[in-house]
Structure 1
Amino acid sequence: MEGLRERTRQAMRAELAEIALRMFLERGFEETTVDDIAREAGMSKRTFFRYFPSKEDVVFGDADDLGEQVAQEIRARPPGEDPWESLRVVLGRWEGRIDACAQELANLRLIESTPSLKARMQHKRDGLRRRIAEAVRDRPGAELDAFTAELLTGAAGAALDTVAREWMRSGGTADRAALLDRAFTLLAPAAKP
């Protein structure tokens, strides 16, 4: 159970992220400084850095924690379950939160149009995929080599990325769950690894 201090910290992080994202969308990411965000939030720049290590991290929230939760769920899948099916089930459940920083169309467009954010997103995705590939290999009865685990995880990541781009192209109206199902069906391995 979370203590009061942690709940207060999470609430402050959420409020700070909301202020920063609004400013990024109004002014542009590069044009908005940490000083601007801190001033708008009524805090010092030093206090801002207690909540986020960098301006870019405001956009991506708790992506690292999310990655660990996804990896734990994959490890907990039934022994002997096909690895692709494990990825499909778990990522299907988490799809709406995988890109928590980009849940809103405007945020995804901000990331796609800002080179430093796009680079940070790629870095975050690489770390997430590494953790998930390890989880796929660590599952009881998986018996996968690193190459196969990384390949399957990379294909699953490509499916998520393509779903996000199609959702963005649709103006946020496409059914993400249906798109993800379609992507996993199209990419399904022909033979078990």
Structure 2
Amino acid sequence: MSESTPSLRERHRTRTLAEIHQAALELVGECGYGDTAVEAIAERAGVSRRTFFNYYPSKEAAVLGTTTPRISDAARERFLDTSTGDEFARTVRLFMDVLRDATGPPQLTAQRYELVENNPELKRSVGMHINTVESLVVSTVMEQPAHGPTPRSEETSHAFVLLAGAVIKFAFRTNTHLATTLDDDAVQRALDHAIGVFRTALKEIS
């Protein structure tokens, strides 16, 4: 199954999100988080205040580059394509796809990390964002029939997705360039390695 090619509308959305996010990061760097206003971000990005709120719900979201998590057509296709891996591997990839889609461009990751470190109040928002991504992935996984004699419970599905999130966290910690790469093959290799490490660890405790 081939992945969907982003439509013109989708490419415009991605570009505008990135431009507003870039403007927000620049202004925070110049003026500080507390002294950066939505109006200034919109002006720097060349959009109206109304357009700003069509893309980001708040100044905080624009600064962090976070948008409402969603399952894109491409991510859903990849998850449903059984030729791309077993159910757990596909769940890990789905989690990663949703997370990357709902977060600013990888090339701005270093600036976001620095911002969060300098503004601890933003860490809670980052945690809540990841929790929202997790919940969406859980609901998507639960829509699919589990392989086994009995359906997977909501509790087990949640544990399944939490483990997928742990794999991603491990991959990021062991590959410091993963968060900033645009190379999808490199992302997949890192995830495959992390999945292998977790499979080995789980065998030892099973």
| Pair in the same fold by TM > 0.5 | yes
Query: Does 1:151 find its partner at 2:172?
Result: no
Q: Which amino acid aligns with 2:91?
A: L
The SS at the match of 1:100 is coil
The alpha-carbon deviation at position 34 of structure 1 amounts to 1.6
Note the residue ranges of structure 1 that are not aligned, 5 or more in a row: none
The SS at the match of 1:190 is helix
Q: Deviations over 1:132-189 (max 9, x none)?
A: 122222213442111221112111112223333444599969x655543332222224
Say which of 26, 30, 42 aligns to 1:38.
42
Q: Deviations over 1:93-152 (max 9, x none)?
A: x38935632613222332344334322221121111112122222213442111221112
Q: Which amino acid aligns with 1:190?
A: K
The residue number in structure 2 matching 1:183 is 194
Query: Does 1:97 find its partner at 2:105?
Result: no
Q: Provide closer, same or farther for how the CA distance between residues 124 and 172 of structure 1 changes in structure 2, counting only shifts above 3 A.
A: closer
Alignment partners' CA distance in 1, 2:203 and 2:87: 13
Q: Deviations over 1:45-64 (max 9, x none)?
A: 45533432101221334451
Q: Which amino acid aligns with 2:87?
A: P
Say which of 42, 52, 59 aligns to 1:55.
59
Correspondences of 1:84-123 after superposition (within 5 Å):
84-91=88-95, 94=97, 97=100, 100-101=103-104, 103=106, 104-123=109-128
**How well do the aligned residues superpose, as a CA RMSD in angstroms?**
4.0
**Sequence identity, in percent?**
24
Q: TM-score, normalised by structure 2?
A: 0.66
The residue number in structure 2 matching 1:20 is 24
Query: Does 1:133 find its partner at 2:133?
Result: no
Alignment partners' CA distance in 2, 1:172 and 1:3: 24
The residue number in structure 1 matching 2:171 is 163
> Does the 8 Å contact 1:95/1:160 carry over to 2?
no
Q: Provide closer, same or farther for how the CA distance between residues 161 and 23 of structure 1 changes in structure 2, counting only shifts above 3 A.
A: farther
Q: Which amino acid aligns with 1:54?
A: S
The alpha-carbon deviation at position 77 of structure 1 amounts to 3.8
Alignment partners' CA distance in 2, 1:22 and 1:47: 19
- What number of residue pairs does the alignment pair up? 187
Q: TM-score, normalised by structure 1?
A: 0.69
Alignment partners' CA distance in 1, 2:38 and 2:180: 29
Say which of 72, 79, 82 aligns to 1:78.
82
